[in-house]
């Protein structure tokens, strides 16, 4: 009998989409280990209201530390909060999203508790009452299976991999007292990118462009496709175009960029260098558009179109817009 | 851009020897490790950003020092030589077998760093072999100092570091009093190539080595496998005329539209 702690990440007092993935996965593990799911929310004003939603994904209890100071990520206070909860609850595992915040916090907590951490996990099983995890390594060129030798097992889950399965529980909301931990690391502000908050790692649909796009100005063709695909879609880029300064680093997909697992990935004008393939081969469905029929990208693509992307893209945007507006 | 007013920055840069990002990864017959034959090893690309930043901090103030430390096998000496060739003053090799548990590596680094005087520890945000993204924040926690991870912009003014860290859809602005740890993300700077002069000078720079005994791992690798196979690829057709069929397949077969 071991409970599972689930760190439910918030921003601006609202749960982030990954929070549901983490809590739902905690539910699956807790059912196998015979324990309860305890979700932990550390957030700004409004968090308590959002926290109620976590029962829907299987949280038995939701511990909420709501305060003005938690409106921004406060690593030192968050580490101490989780350390004290872990000290009382003796959980079998502590789950985090493998987000910028989740990975930062998980590593600090692992060192604080002197307990093992597996990052960017894509599969969790329970064997003999102990979590065994699978995670991509070498940018996705190999997968490692790891067994935890001490408890609690700290695990960060790759976004977009684990389903946010609805599994309702009558959850109890518990307010936690305010933290009095002095911040060594002070997060003083958040600056949002112009394009909004959909990150290439968390977007269900990614439209990525490579050198075949020819010129940064041609990205409007990809932006049109993103717009046609709707709110779930965002832009990605190959290393070549990021290194050329055409696109920001935050969009780079590949071993030295972001490893992504969207349900749909469009690779446009990307030949498919080995480090790029490593970064997107776990996508659900891959569509490649390239003029070179021999391009390696076609070896991982579910569907390939060989041709001039300047002819194919506008037609694709038009057809997708048509099927989406008719709702058919 | 980089100001280091009234500050002599003594930097320690943690580096790692990893397979090149263009390398094909083959798994050894034991199913537990990488087959190193024919694999080119390089300095972890993110560590190059960390080292470059340390060098620029030193150059901006005209004072300070840059020490490169690695935990690794004998061969990691070459990676330290590369760091010295780029401009680091000193290299330290903590000789040990590879460890799969980030906690173990962080402990070895933290023990070494704690015995030294430093203002800033710089690391790459992650090594591109294990892809853990753990060691920098663990080292900071073990040393009891602040830390900013995934940093794309850094300023050191007086005794304060101001960093921008990349988060989903934007950036966080982070401040801390030195000493502290910074983990570098791509975009922080453009790392230099070692000059011929730098490569020659590196041969005369101090490079110390010692054996370290790593702590017992708490995370055990039980198997390494190739990535799951992709479905059989299908060429739908050529040119814009293939688009209606592509859209039909995406809707009716793949059901993703």
What CATH number has the domain bearing residue A150?
3.40.50.620
In a domain, A197, yes or no: no
In a domain, A292, yes or no: yes
Per-residue pLDDT of chain A (328 residues; tens, 9 = 90+): 689 999 999 998 899 999 999 999 999 999 999 999 999 999 999 999 999 999 999 999 999 999 999 999 999 999 999 999 999 999 999 999 999 999 999 999 999 999 999 999 999 999 999 999 999 999 999 999 999 999 999 999 999 999 999 999 999 999 998 778 999 999 999 998 665 558 899 899 999 999 999 999 999 999 999 999 999 999 999 999 999 999 999 999 998 899 999 999 999 999 999 999 999 999 999 999 999 999 999 999 999 999 999 999 999 999 999 998 876 5
Residues A139 and A8 in one domain: yes
Residues A157 and A214 in one domain: no
Structural domain including A146 reads: 4-175
In a domain, B33, yes or no: yes
Structural domain including B39 reads: 10-211
Min Cα distance B53 → chain A (Å) is: 17
Min Cα distance B93 → chain A (Å) is: 23
Residue B224 region, left (φ>0) first, then alpha (ψ -120 to 50), else beta? beta
Residues A82 and A229 in one domain: no
**Of A148, A201, A254, Cβ closest to residue B168:** A201
Q: Which residue of A has its CA nearest to B239?
A: A307
In a domain, A198, yes or no: no
In a domain, B221, yes or no: no
Q: How many CB pairs under 8 A join A and B?
A: 287
Indicate if ipTM > 0.90. Answer: yes
Residues A165 and A261 in one domain: no
Residues A164 and A237 in one domain: no
Q: Which residue of A has its CA nearest to B124?
A: A256
CA distances from A26 to A39, A84, A88, A267, B24 (A): 9, 19, 18, 33, 35
Residues A252 and A138 in one domain: no
Domain count along chain A: 2
Q: Which residue of B has its CA nearest to A273?
A: B22
Residues A320 and A171 in one domain: no
Q: Do A146 and B149 touch (CB under 8 A)?
A: no
Instruction: Give Cα A45 to chain centroid, integer Å.
Output: 24
In a domain, B94, yes or no: yes
Kindly report the CATH number assigned to the domain that includes residue A236.
Answer: 3.40.50.1220
In a domain, A282, yes or no: yes
Residues A135 and A210 in one domain: no
Kindly report the CATH number assigned to the domain that includes residue B183.
Answer: 3.40.50.620
Residues A153 and A210 in one domain: no
In a domain, A18, yes or no: yes
Residues A111 and A24 in one domain: yes
Domain count along chain B: 1
pTM for the full predicted model? 0.94
Separation between Cα atoms, residue B150 and residue B167, nearest integer Å: 8
Residues A166 and A70 in one domain: yes
pLDDT tens digits, one per residue of A110-164: 999 999 999 999 999 999 999 999 999 999 999 999 999 999 999 999 999 999 9
Query: What single-letter DSSP state applies at residue B251?
Result: I
Judged by DSSP in three states, B143 sits in helix
In a domain, A111, yes or no: yes
Per-residue pLDDT of chain B (257 residues; tens, 9 = 90+): 444 555 789 999 999 999 999 999 999 999 999 999 999 999 999 999 999 999 999 999 899 999 999 999 999 999 999 999 999 999 999 999 878 899 999 999 999 999 999 999 999 999 999 999 999 999 999 999 999 999 999 999 989 999 999 999 899 999 999 999 999 999 999 999 999 999 999 999 999 999 999 999 999 999 999 998 999 999 999 999 999 999 999 999 999 99
Query: What's residue B1's pLDDT?
Result: 44
**Token pair 């479905």 in the structure block, residue:** B231
- Residue among A76, A116, A119 at smallest CA distance from A96: A119
In a domain, A109, yes or no: yes
Residues A231 and A154 in one domain: no
In a domain, B253, yes or no: no
In a domain, A319, yes or no: yes
Chain A positions in Cβ-Cβ contact with residue B147 (cut-off 8 Å)? 75, 108, 185
Query: What's residue A180's pLDDT?
Result: 85
Chain A positions in Cβ-Cβ contact with residue B145 (cut-off 8 Å)? 184
Q: Which residue of B has its CA nearest to A234?
A: B169
Using a 10 angstrom Cβ sphere, with 0-12 exposed, 13-18 middle and 19 or more buried, the burial of residue B162 is: middle
- Residue among B69, B73, B72 at smallest CA distance from B110: B69
In a domain, B196, yes or no: yes
**A19, A44, A96, A107: best mutation site toward chain B, by most B Cβ within 10 Å?**
A107
Separation between Cα atoms, residue B15 and residue B85, nearest integer Å: 14
């Amino acid at each position: 009998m071991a409970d599972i702690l689930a760190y439910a990440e918030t921003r601006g007092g609202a749960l982030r989409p990954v929070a549901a993935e983490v809590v739902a996965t905690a539910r699956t593990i807790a059912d196998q280990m015979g324990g309860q799911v305890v979700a932990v929310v550390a957030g700004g004003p409004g968090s308590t209201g959002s926290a109620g939603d976590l029962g829907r994904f299987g949280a038995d209890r939701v511990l909420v530390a709501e305060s003005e100071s938690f409106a921004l990520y406060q690593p030192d206070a968050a580490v101490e909060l989780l350390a004290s909860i872990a000290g009382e609850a003796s959980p079998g595992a502590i789950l985090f999203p493998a987000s910028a915040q989740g990975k930062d916090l998980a590593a600090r907590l692992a060192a604080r508790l002197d307990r093992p951490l597996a990052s960017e996990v894509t599969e969790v099983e329970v064997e003999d009452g102990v979590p065994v995890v699978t995670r991509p390594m070498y940018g996705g060129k190999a997968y490692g299976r790891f067994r935890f030798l001490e408890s609690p097992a700290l695990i960060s889950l790759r976004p977009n991999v684990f389903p946010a399965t609805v599994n309702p529980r009558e959850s109890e909301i518990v307010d936690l007292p305010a933290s009095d931990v002095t911040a060594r690391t002070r997060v003083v502000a958040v600056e949002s990118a112009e394009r909004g908050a959909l990150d290439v790692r968390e977007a269900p649909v990614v439209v990525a462009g490579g050198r075949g796009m020819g010129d940064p100005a041609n990205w409007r063709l990809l932006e049109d496709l993103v717009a046609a695909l709707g709110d779930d879609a965002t832009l990605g880029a190959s290393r070549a175009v990021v290194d050329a300064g055409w696109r920001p680093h935050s969009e780079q997909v590949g071993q030295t960029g972001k490893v992504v697992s969207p349900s749909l990935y469009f690779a446009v004008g990307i030949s498919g260098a080995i480090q790029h393939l490593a970064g997107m081969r776990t996508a659900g469905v891959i569509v490649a558009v390239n003029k070179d029929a021999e391009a390696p990208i076609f070896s991982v693509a579910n569907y390939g179109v060989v041709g001039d992307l300047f002819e194919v893209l506008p037609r694709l945007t038009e057809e997708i817009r048509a099927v989406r507006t008719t709702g058919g | 851009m980089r100001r280091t007013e009234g500050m002599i920055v003594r930097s320690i840069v943690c580096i790692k020897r990893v397979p090149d990002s263009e390398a094909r990864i083959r798994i050894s017959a034991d199913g537990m490790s990488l087959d190193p034959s024919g694999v080119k090893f390089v300095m972890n690309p993110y560590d190059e950003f960390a080292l470059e930043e340390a060098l620029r901090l030193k150059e901006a103030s005209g004072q300070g020092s840059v020490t490169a430390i690695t935990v690794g096998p004998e061969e990691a000496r070459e990676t330290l030589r590369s760091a010295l060739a780029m401009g680091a003053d000193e290299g330290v090799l903590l000789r040990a077998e590879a460890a799969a548990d980030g906690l173990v590596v962080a402990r070895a680094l933290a023990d070494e760093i704690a015995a030294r005087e430093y203002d800033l520890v710089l690391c790459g945000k992650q090594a591109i072999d294990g892809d853990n993204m753990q060691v920098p924040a663990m080292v900071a926690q073990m040393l009891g100092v602040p830390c900013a991870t995934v940093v794309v912009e850094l300023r050191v003014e007086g005794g304060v570091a101001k960093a921008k860290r990349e988060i989903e859809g934007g950036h966080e602005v982070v401040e801390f009093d030195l000493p502290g740890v910074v983990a570098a993300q791509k975009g922080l700077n453009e790392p230099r190539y070692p000059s011929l002069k730098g490569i020659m000078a590196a041969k005369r720079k101090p490079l110390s080595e010692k054996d370290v005994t790593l702590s017992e791992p708490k995370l055990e690798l039980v198997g390494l496998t190739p990535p799951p196979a992709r479905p059989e690829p299908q060429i739908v057709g050529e040119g814009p005329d293939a688009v209606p069929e592509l859209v039909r397949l995406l809707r009716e077969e793949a059901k993703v539209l």
